[in-house]
Structure 1
Amino acid sequence: MQVLIKSATILDRASDHHNKKRDILIFNGIIQKIAASIDQKEADLVIDKPNLHVSLGWFDSSVSFGEPGYEHRETLANGMQVSAQSGLCHVAINANSAPITDNKSAVSFIAQRTEDSPVNAVIVGALTQGSKGIDQAEMFDMNTVGCPSFYDYKRPTDDVNLLKLSLQYTQPFGGLVQSFPLEKGLATKGVVHEGIASTQLGLKGISSTAETLRIQRDLGILEYTGGKLHIPTISSAASVKLIKAAKKSGLDVSCSVAAHHLLFTDDVLEGFDTQYKVMPPLRDEADRKALIKGLLDGTIDGVTSDHNPLDIESKKKEFDHADFGTIGLECLFGATNKALGTEAAVDALTGLRAAFGINSTTIEEGQTADLSLFDPQETWTVDAKTLPSFSKNCIYHGHKLQGKAYGMILGEKYHLNDE
């Protein structure tokens, strides 16, 4: 099949066509020709959209879909469909299900359920059995069926020796260990950032120190053991400084930030809306600015939606008792683009590909098509009720974002939102 993309502005710093408007001809999943103009007669499918932009395929490093066990929140089939509609070519599916993805057969189950999707499922296995933090999961066996990374979703690895052994164990096969940055002893019953807003609202706080103490510990273990460590969803200025210093010293550490931390601070908590209850909590303006600066200077490797669908009963509660989490796949590009600008947003949505073992490619002739298609200028107001995710717990509801995806192409598979 031949696909022709017409008059697209290419955003790919590694390509000779960066920031140029070009036609792109794809044949059987391979970019065959890039030129100022290509005859439409050569194509079976022509993609011609207003203000069309094309970049290297976006990757979301932290996505939860529920299935198996929580299909009422989100199924794998619908979650992958939403990912394609959101312009994503790759999504890392967390071990946040029942049962937990902690063995080879559980990984194979998710792989089989997602194999027909145009989006590549990067399956994240649990670090420990049942994500209970006691015994190592079957990491090597999971890796043999394509699992590149291991993470007990939102559960800190309290056993420091377990983290040490995991970093050592995964080195021979290049596995990526993830460690959620939270010192639980400093966060007991906390629900929001510890600061002026928490005091004024009478809500129990979680200080940024609870995050940085754990990061300091984990970086110290990484320095001792070697290996590859990923710290998901950092939220504070102090964390950015720690990771910047660790990278400068040569440690193999990567990190991400959730897109909602780039737009919102704890000021939005005034109305006690539980949609703003996320983990890590929304912090203050100084932290928000430091996170943006960390992305722009390369300290923070990428942005994630941290998509976590929850049923209405989990959110329609008093603030103290509501669950942490928000959906965000559909809003990922619009939020990131609004916060960073388009080129920086593309960098943030592709920056973690290598850490998670996604093949490197560029937008050049002879390369596999791995493309996100979008309009960076379209503004829209989020209405959670109209979003295609099953769950509607959306932190962006009622907010205006900038930029929308047209779809994606990955090899011979594609999705266009108007088809």
Structure 2
Amino acid sequence: MNVLLRNVTIIDDSSPYHLKKKDILIENGIIQTIGEHLSKDDIQIIQADQAFVSTGWIDIFTHFSDPGLEHRETLESGAEAAFAGGFTKVFTIANTHPVVDNKAQVAYIKEKSKSLPVQIFPIGAITKNAEGSNLSEMYDMYNAGAIAFSDGLHPIQSPGLFLKALQYVKAFDGVLIQQPFDTTVGTYGLINEGIISTQLGLPGLPAIAEELIIMRDIELLRYTESRLHITGISSAKSVELIARAKTEGLQITCSVTPYHLLFTDEDLQSYDTNLKLNPPLRTKSDREALRKGILEGIIDAIATHHFPQHNDDKDKEFEYAKNGMIGLQTAYPVVLESIPGLSAEQTADLFSFNASKIFQLNRSKIAEGAEADLTVFNPAGNTIFTKEKNKSKSNNSPLFGKPLKGEIIATISKNKIFINK
């Protein structure tokens, strides 16, 4: 793969070229030269006058459904969607069939993904079969390549068990990821509890179901002095709780989905099942708190929560439809549409740099001689996501045909390139 990025602004605070417009010559997947007015015969040129380039983006919470649920997604189709969305690294949750709860399952994903354009990092289950009863073989999974540990779609309900897990991962400085909701509160809730749920006659899922778990887990984190990442926060109080815990010095970080920055429960008046999510879409005031949390640096990362669902599980009455939407290819434009003032540096922090720090990944660099692991993005561009452009096996998105701000120009990783055309 040989390509010349021309007149692109580099975003890499570890590089002497940070915030400078340069040409970048890449040959056989390696950055050969960074300079000005570069030229090369018989090479693909990407003219990127308004674009920025950062080290490759990382999605820390996504569902590739493989093994066992390949009718929704495969590692191959998920990787293609991620690559088209600007991601070069993806963390996959453990809620497959069978669950990723042992080193053999971790090894399966690592081996099967070697030839794919993105690096796939399995998240190992905290408990056996993600059932919340007994701890899994986390140390063995860590040695096999698990990046972090989470029961994913089934967050740990037992405080005693979660405390043991927090203590367990301290042996290797591991990180637990929790998607917070108390399953005993609003058990049958379908959307956010509030005015809209009352108007639509749908059972509500109150924000306190999320906030109780966050409060509990902060207390357990304080006690264990371990490391915790909360993903998918959706309420103003959740942002406030995590901000206070950070001020205290606890090792806590958090992420938000792109769609919680864009939509609110008012958008559910159309009964679009693609907007049926867990955590559910909250109020406008909650959405504003999330946006503010991004700009103030309280929220560390974007996590797409890309959850493919087969048409049969979405094309039905709202009550019976499954939760989730796809989101890898629309993550950047949705975030930029939600927060138009987001700078290129803040974008790189949210999509790449912060995740590298949190999960202790070897951060790639934009330097001569380095492997090209890059995302080229243009905040001045526009994106219209269509079913024809969709790389996922599933189509559960409310965004088809809607114009959005921002555009992924190209993604480069593992001597492969995606160019948005």
TM-score class, shorter-chain normalisation, is over 0.9
Q: Is the 8 A contact 1:384 1:394 kept in 2?
A: no
Partner of 2:129: 130
The whole-number CA distance in structure 1 between the counterparts of 2:363 and 2:59 is: 16
Task: Tell me the CA shift for residue 12 of structure 1.
Answer: 3.0
Relative to structure 1, the CA distance from residue 418 to residue 382 in structure 2 (aligned partners, 3 Å threshold; closer, same or farther) is: closer
TM-score for both structures, normalised by structure 2: 0.94
Residue 381 (structure 1) aligns with: 384
| 1:75 alignment partner AA | T
Opposite residue 175 of structure 1, the aligned amino acid is: G
Whole-angstrom CA distance in 1 between matches of 2:384 and 2:5? 28
**2:148 aligned partner:** 149
Moved more, 391-400 or 130-139: 391-400
- Whether the aligned pair in 2 keeps the contact of 1:12 and 1:55 (CA below 8 Å) is yes
Unaligned 5+ runs, structure 2: none
Deviation per CA, 1:369-403: give whole Å up to 9, x if none.
32102232222333346412110001323432122
Which residue in the other structure is 2:348 paired with? 346
Q: 1:386 to 1:57 in 2, by over 3 A?
A: closer
Q: Which residue of 2 aligns with 1:178?
A: 177
Q: Do residues 96 (structure 1) and 95 (structure 2) align?
A: yes
Out of 403, 411, 415, which is 1:413 matched to? 415
Tell me, yes or no, if the aligned pair for 2:59 and 2:89 is still in contact at 8 Å: yes
Amino acid at match of 2:40: Q
Deviation at 1:19, TM superposition (A): 2.9
Provide the rounded CA distance (Å) in 2 between the counterparts of 1:54 and 1:214: 38
Q: Which moved more, 1:380-389 or 1:315-324?
A: 380-389
Aligned partners of 2:6, 2:87: CA distance in 1, in Å?
20
* 2:193 is aligned with 1:194: yes
Q: Name the residue aligned to 1:17.
A: 17
Change (3 A) 1:227 1:27: farther
C-alpha distance in 1 between matches for 2:39 and 2:316: 58
Q: Is the 8 A contact 2:8 2:53 kept in 1?
A: yes
1:183-262 → structure 2 map (5 Å cutoff): 183-262=182-261
User: Against the structure 1 CA distance between its residues 26 and 352, is the aligned structure 2 distance closer, same or farther, given a 3 Å change threshold?
Assistant: same
1:395 pairs with one of 389, 398, 405 = 398
Partner of 2:375: 372
Q: Classify the secondary structure of the residue corresponding to 2:358.
A: coil
Aligned to 2:160: 161
Give yes or no for contact 1:385–1:392 (8 Å, CA) kept in 2. Answer: no
Per-residue CA deviations over 1:60-83 (Å, capped at 9, x if unaligned) read 111111111111111111111121
Partner of 1:37: 37
- In structure 1, distance between residues paired with 2:274 and 2:401: 11
Asked if 1:58 corresponds to 2:68, the answer is no
For 2:410 and 2:141, how far apart are their aligned partners in 1?
31
Assess, with a 3 A threshold, how the Cα gap between structure 1 residues 223 and 404 changes in structure 2: closer, same or farther.
same
Whole-angstrom distance in 2 between the partners of 1:270 and 1:25:
50
Q: 1:261 to 1:89 in 2, by over 3 A?
A: same
Alpha-carbon contact 1:8-1:54 (below 8 Å) kept: yes
8 Å CA contact 2:29, 2:416 repeated in 1: no
Aligned to 2:306: 307
Structure 1 position 342, deviation (Å): 4.4
Q: State the one-letter code of the partner of 1:257.
A: V
Shift of 1:138: 1.1
Distance in 2, Cα, partners of 1:45 & 1:386: 22
1:418 positional shift: 5.9
CA RMSD of aligned residues (A): 1.9
Q: Letter of the aligned partner of 2:133 in structure 1?
A: I
CA distance in 2, matches of 1:100, 1:407: 33
TM-score, normalised to structure 1's length? 0.94
Name the SS of the counterpart of 1:74 in structure 2. Answer: coil
Which segments of 5 or more consecutive residues in structure 1 lack a partner in the other structure?
none
Q: What displacement does 1:414 show? A: 2.3
Shift in CA distance, 386/372, structure 1 to aligned 2, threshold 3 Å:
closer
Kept in 2, the 8 Å contact 1:261–1:282? The answer is yes
Q: Take 2:169 and 2:113, find their aligned partners in 1: how far apart are those partners?
A: 25
Q: Does 1:8 align with 2:8?
A: yes
Q: What are the within-5 Å matches in structure 2 for residues 316-327 of structure 1? A: 316-327=315-326
SS state of the match for residue 298, structure 2?
A: coil
